Amino acid sequence: MPARRRKQSNAMLYTLIIFVGLFIASTTIAVIFYVNAEKYRTEKNDLRNDIDDYARKQELDDVGKDIGSRLSGKTWLGTMYNHFDDMVTLVLGGVAESTTAEVKAGKANTEAEAALKLAQEHIHIGDPNTTGLVPIIKSIVAELQNVKKLQLETQKSLDNTLVELKNVNEANTQKEQELLAQKEKLLLDIEQRKQAYKNLEDTLEKNTQEQIRNLTTQKNELDESKKDLEARLALKEAELAEAQKAVKLAKEEIAKIAPGPNPESLAFKPDGNIILVDNDAGIVHLDIGFDEHVYRGLTFTVYDRGTSIRPDGIGKAEIEVFDVEKDFSVARLIPPPNYQSAINDLYEEFTDSKEAAKIMLTLEKPYKERLKDFEEKFSKGSANRMRILNNLAEAYEKNKNKSPVILNDIVANLIWDSSKTNVIVISGEFDLDNDGYYDYDAPEKLKVLINKWGGRVENTISVDTDFLLLGQIPLIPERPSLQEQQADPMALQNYENSVKKAELYTNMQNRAQALWIPIFKYDRFLHLIGYKAQASQAGAF
């Protein structure tokens, strides 16, 4: 029995030993596994970090979708490198260099930007950051096609031009041959003419002396005839002067017995009457209309009823027709000149108070005496001074006679006539714009005004002339010296033209007086046609 117990104890001991050995072995294996597991975990994390540096998880999951099929024997990254090299080769051409992708991409970008700048010289490119090479190439191809098309058209046009040029050259060649033939013919004709001229020259040389003798005889005969004609002309002129003197004396004697007719009587004939007045509105109605050939824009001067028209033509008002009916017309009153303004102009121009006072006293004289004093004493040939004096006289008269326009006042216009066309001749210098200088185109402007008012302008005085409109006598400058003529080749001609104009002015005046034709100065003329107030406004002529 005891021996059996011993056997049982050894088994337990062996079991315990085995258990302890297994425990120690498992513990050792566990420690080794743990150490290796930690090593593997560390390596895994390092590999994960390395993989994250290459691509993120989402990118790895989509690598097949983003890159496409993996090339045989290539990794995904290698496949992408291969595609990148193909794209660089497409951009740069040739074979991709064995260098970094950064260098390849940088070179491709540089070359692409350079190509883009070159392309911009030929085609329109929008935003360079959004425009690719393929659209640019397509645009260039389209432009190239247009250029080829234009080249074909140009070539076709060039071919047509060459054909035309060939035809022209052939025509020119033919024309040249014709001209050469004509040249030969002309040369032959010239030689014949030279010979004929030489023959004629010989003949003339023989007859020159004889011809000179004949011409000298003719000249002497003409000189004698001229002297005889001059003597007869002088005699006729003396006889004419005596006859004119006798006629003048006879007229003076007749005038003492019975005064002659007033040549201006027709000029002072009223043309109509005022039948309705609205002074508040500044409107009047006249008893003349379409039947008497009244038209819009026609002006009249208004004079007191029951009196005659003043010699100076200044009335109580001026009117302008703006509406015309069958047997009456409507006109507006034109504002009169300002008397105080006219006086201010007087004292501004005539600074000598004594002279200005004499002028004011002259205003009281009759029209002809006043006009004579203005021209001879105060204006001194100045158009500006004469304008100021005439404006003052007009303003003075209208200020002195401040009578309103009333019923049955008469109206008149020197040019306009309901039954005939008045013929007027213009002569002299005129200052139309009142700037103190004569207007070179004044006659033409006055002609337009007279035609507008229904008259007609002629160039010469005749028995058909109704009135002579006379400006200032043209001034005659001093005859230019020889030095002045050399400095200005036109100086002598201008002087002679001035003399002719002054002579024409005097002849016109004398002829009008001889034919009893009324003569009107410029300001008086304006008064008598009712245009004095408007003449000073811009655009009046």
Comparing 10-19, 123-132, 254-263, 408-417, the range with the smallest average pLDDT is 254-263
Highest mean pLDDT among 87-96, 293-302, 387-396: 293-302
Greater model confidence, 306 or 291: 291
The answer to whether the beta carbons of residues 133 and 91 sit under 8 Å apart is yes
Give the CA distances from residue 47 to residues 34, 44, 76, in Å, rounded to whole numbers and listed in that order.
19, 5, 17
The answer to whether the beta carbons of residues 104 and 96 sit under 8 Å apart is yes
- Beta strands of 217-348 (E only): which ranges? 272-278, 283-286, 299-303, 317-324, 329-334
So what's the pLDDT on residue 286? 95
Tens digit of each residue's pLDDT (9 = 90 or more) over 331-390:
999 887 777 888 888 888 888 888 888 888 888 888 778 888 888 888 776 777 888 888
So what's the pLDDT on residue 208? 64
Distance CA 39, CA 42 (A): 5
So what's the pLDDT on residue 1? 44
- Rounded average pLDDT over 262-290: 84
Greater model confidence, 432 or 208: 432
Q: Where are the domains of the chain?
A: 2-54, 65-121, 265-535
Tens digit of each residue's pLDDT (9 = 90 or more) over 288-297:
999 888 989 8
Q: Give the side-chain half-sphere CA count within 13 A for 374.
A: 25
The answer to whether the beta carbons of residues 321 and 330 sit under 8 Å apart is yes
> Does the pTM of the predicted model rise above 0.85?
no
The chain-wide mean pLDDT, for the chain, equals 79
- Rounded average pLDDT over 116-135: 68
So what's the pLDDT on residue 237? 67
- 3-state secondary structure string across 358-400: HHHHHCCCCHHHHHHHHHHHHCCCCHHHHHHHHHHHHHHHHHH
Token code pair at residue 234: 């002088």
So what's the pLDDT on residue 272? 92
So what's the pLDDT on residue 410? 92
